[in-house]
């Protein structure tokens, strides 16, 4: 499928602009697959999955995109996980793979797995106090009427995030450098190049959108997500619902079910399923 792409230099939010364009297009109820992309060089009011969180960065330093799609066949709950998986699908294989294993931190954060020395992202120790490797990308999904909006923010260079987040965030360029730039392809080089990389960013956005479309009808997506899941079998601290306002539980990650819910085995051996929340730390003993 060929996606129409609307690119802007500076936007408040690719998500908000996609909503505006969808309203102008009107609805086609019953029609599936009406879709387009919105990308930008810079967002001034990009937001994260949790209320109060923002996605900030320098001009051209991130892949900033929103995929808008009408009538996704009734799927809602699994879409954020499938979109994160579609991003991983592209970064884990040519022409974008770079010799570093990436993992999905439930539900939809992309992180670089630690190396044998327990480091993550440019050789730094994993996030102090949490045991969580730095974040490379995040996904935010929203719905309005018959439309689904899937937003992605992927750090391409270190100036994609402010200095105060350097212990909690990383970038594709940093990870490529850490990996020694094995098998550097023109597509990968173009993404992390500090020169104009607009065409490269839009090419990746289209590739992610295409991979997402294929995941919509993929009955094996659940297995692929499980294989990419960070910390299976390990004990974590989990914030139920909102990470500030919700309760906190400890449990062992057992996987994700067909509805995309996180399965945790509690300290009493009981299995619990969670629709929303955040893995806030690795449990230390």
- Residue 178 banded pLDDT, cuts 50, 70, 90: confident
Better pLDDT: 149 or 283: 149
pLDDT on residue 15: 95
Whose structure tokens read 């699908």?
Answer: 89
- Decide if pLDDT at 20 tops 80: yes
Residue closest to 174 by CA, chosen among 238, 237, 100, 247 = 100
Mean pLDDT of all residues in 46-74: 75
pLDDT per residue over 128-169, tens digit each? 557 889 999 999 999 988 899 999 999 999 999 888 888 889
- Decide if pLDDT at 108 tops 50: yes
Same domain, 213 and 154: yes
What DSSP string runs through 53-79? -EE---TTSEEEEEEEEE--TT--TTH
Better pLDDT: 120 or 165: 165
73, two tokens: 């066949």
- Residue 118 banded pLDDT, cuts 50, 70, 90: very low
pLDDT on residue 47: 61
Q: Average pLDDT, whole number, for the chain?
A: 85
What DSSP string runs through 117-157? TSB-STTPBS-TTT--PPEEEEEEEEEETTEEEEEEEEE-S
Same domain, 195 and 235: no
Of the chain, the percentage scoring pLDDT greater than 70 comes to 84
Q: Which element (helix H / strand E) includes 196?
A: none
Residues 103, 120 contacting (CB under 8 angstroms): no
Same domain, 246 and 128: no
Q: Among 179, 211, 226, identify where a domain stops.
A: 226
pLDDT on residue 182: 67
Same domain, 218 and 238: no
Same domain, 247 and 135: no
Better pLDDT: 69 or 25: 69
Domain count within the chain: 2
Q: Give the whole-angstrom CA distance, residue 148 versus residue 15.
A: 10
Q: Which domain holds residue 47?
A: 4-226
Residue closest to 228 by CA, chosen among 87, 18, 30 = 87
Mean pLDDT of all residues in 13-30: 83
- Decide if pLDDT at 215 tops 70: yes
Of the chain, the percentage scoring pLDDT greater than 90 comes to 59
Mean pLDDT of all residues in 173-197: 86
Residues 54, 37 contacting (CB under 8 angstroms): no
pLDDT on residue 124: 43
Same domain, 114 and 67: yes
39 bridge partner residues:
7, 65
pLDDT on residue 95: 93
Same domain, 271 and 152: no
Same domain, 63 and 171: yes
pLDDT on residue 114: 63
Report the CATH number at residue 53. Answer: 3.30.930.10
Same domain, 65 and 174: yes
Same domain, 45 and 159: yes
Q: Which residues contact 281 (CB under 8 A, 6 or more apart)?
A: 129, 130, 131, 132, 236, 237
Same domain, 68 and 165: yes
Same domain, 66 and 175: yes
Report the CATH number at residue 269. Answer: 2.30.30.100
pLDDT per residue over 234-276, tens digit each? 999 999 976 566 689 999 999 999 999 999 999 899 999 999 9
pLDDT on residue 167: 85
Peptide bond into 5 cis (omega under 30): no
pLDDT on residue 73: 67
Whose structure tokens read 């590739």?
Answer: 207
pLDDT on residue 208: 98
């Amino acid at each position: 499928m060929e996606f129409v792409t609307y690119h802007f230099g500076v936007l408040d939010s690719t998500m908000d602009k996609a909503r505006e364009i969808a309203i102008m297009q009107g609805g086609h109820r019953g029609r599936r697959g009406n879709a387009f992309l919105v990308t930008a060089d810079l967002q001034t009011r990009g937001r994260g999955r949790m209320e109060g969180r923002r996605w900030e960065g320098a001009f051209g330093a991130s892949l900033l995109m929103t995929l808008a799609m009408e009538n996704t066949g009734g799927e809602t709950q699994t879409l954020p996980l499938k979109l994160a998986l579609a991003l991983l699908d592209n970064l884990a294989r040519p022409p974008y793979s770079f010799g570093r294993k990436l993992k999905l931190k439930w539900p939809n954060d992309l992180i670089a797995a630690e190396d044998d020395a327990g480091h993550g992202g440019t050789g730094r120790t994993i996030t102090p106090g949490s045991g969580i490797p730095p974040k490379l990308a995040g996904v935010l999904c929203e719905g309005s009427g018959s439309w689904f909006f899937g937003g992605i923010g992927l750090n391409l260079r270190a100036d994609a995030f402010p200095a105060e987040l350097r212990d909690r965030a990383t970038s594709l360029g940093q990870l490529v450098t850490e990996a020694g730039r094995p098998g550097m392809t023109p597509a990968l080089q173009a993404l992390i190049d500090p020169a104009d990389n607009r065409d490269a960013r839009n090419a990746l956005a289209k590739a992610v959108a295409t991979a997402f479309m294929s995941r919509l009808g993929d009955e094996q997506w659940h297995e692929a997500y499980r294989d990419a899941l960070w910390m299976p079998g390990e004990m974590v601290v989990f914030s139920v619902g909102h990470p500030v306002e919700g309760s906190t539980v400890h449990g062992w990650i057992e996987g994700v079910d067909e509805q995309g819910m996180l399965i945790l085995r509690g300290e009493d051996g009981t299995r619990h399923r969670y629709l929303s929340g955040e893995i806030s730390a690795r449990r230390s003993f």
